[in-house]
Amino acid sequence: MRGLTDRQTLETLDRLVDDVEGVDKAAGIGLSVGGGLRDWIESGTGSFLEKTTLFLLIWVGLLLAGCTGAGTGAAPSDLPLATAPAVASLTPFQPVTPTASPDPGAALSPTPIPIPTPTHPTPTPCLTATEVDMSTETFPDPLIISIVYNNLASDARLVTDWGFSAHIQYHGHVILFDTGTNGQTLLQNMQVLGIAPAAVQTVVLSHAHRDHTGGLDAFLAAGSQPTVYLLASFGDPFHAQVSSLTEVIDGSPGLEIAEDILTTGELTSGIPEQALVIRTPQGLVVVTGCAHPGIVRIIERAVALTGEPVELVMGGFHLRDSNQAEIARIVSDFRRLGVRRVAPSHCTGDLAIRLFAEAYGDDFIASGAGSVITIGE
């Protein structure tokens, strides 16, 4: 150190300034200071000791500046960027900290603000539940069949009388299948069940016996003007009489009376007759008046028309004159055809009803005037 001359001092100073220049070039401070000292040393003023001391001070200073410059100058142009985010990130904290409390725990209070975040996942199950609710409101479209006329009793409030009539609601359509024997009894029973005659859009008559057609006059006089489905076998006088009051259509095999509601058309064996076939997600529901052509033939017709399984057969099976062996064969035919449930009444006969009840167990539905059978609830 003692051997340092002005020249050596100048060379060392230049090298140091160059080193720092590369680092701190953007600031330009090192260069201007170094340049001023260089001029003073070259001027020859000042003692050697002063220059050497000054040199050492500058060296230490430059070293410190170099260290600092290396830290901040790694990307000098980044300085403003590094500073900006720091300020920006502080800014949101400032309103929170003072407003809250100096307590560090209070700094957590802003954290609850994200509480809305956990609230977000919640809507998902909520929406799902809403969809489920909507589906339960939209999809249940049960088939509801109320027996409004029957010689067998079910609801004591209704009058029982020989004959058959069933009120059917499905897909928003209302059908009266057969009208019983007496119109006043029919209307009275409907009133007890809260059924308005005027709401009936369609009447289907199964066959021309009075215990199925007798109530039609009074029913039409009660204010409804439904389309009436008959058969050619009802004869011209009857057609003319009903046609004078409302629209008449003759049923034919597979004719769709309303959505998912078909008629078997006329089956001719003995007394001509038609039955109603209703398609449901559970299977076919077959409603018969008296089943004069044979209950098994009617079911076979329904299956042939639709190719669908049979959920329920209900109404008159006309087995009053059949013995036990004949009834047993018919029960086995029901099984062969895959009939899942039965609700025999009217002209089925006591013996046949008992045997069906024994054979079908829980799938036997006891039915009579006032029974309400719901499918797809």
Q: Which residues bind Zn ion (CB under 5 A)?
A: 209, 211, 290, 347
The distance of Cα 67 from the centroid of its chain, to the nearest Å, equals 69
Nearest approach in angstroms of CB 211 to Zn ion is 4
Question: Which alpha helices (H) appear in the chain, and where do they start and end?
Answer: 6-24, 29-42, 48-73, 79-99, 116-119, 123-138, 183-192, 210-213, 216-221, 236-243, 295-306, 324-336, 350-360
Please identify, using beta-carbon distances, which residue of 211 and 266 lies nearer to Zn ion: 211
- Minimum Å distance from CB 210 to Zn ion? 9
Contact 305, 279 (CB under 8 A): no
Minimum separation from the CB atom of position 173 to Zn ion (A): 24
CB 258, min distance to Zn ion, A: 24
244: alpha, beta or left? (left if phi > 0; alpha if psi -120 to 50): alpha
Question: Which is closer to Zn ion, CB of 279 or CB of 318?
Answer: 318
Residue 167, Cα to own-chain centre: how many angstroms? 30
Nearest-CA neighbor of 351 among 330, 368, 373, 336? 330
Closest approach of Zn ion to the CB of residue 276, in Å: 15
The DSSP call for residue 148 is: E
Residue 209 or 279: which CB sits closer to Zn ion? 209
Residue 216 CB, nearest approach to Zn ion (Å): 14
In terms of Cβ atoms closer than 10 Å to its own Cβ (0-12, 13-18, 19+), residue 363 is middle
- Which residue, 52 or 179, has its beta carbon nearer to Zn ion? 179
Nearer to Zn ion, 330 or 347 (CB): 347
* Of residues 161 and 311, the one with the C-beta less far from Zn ion: 161
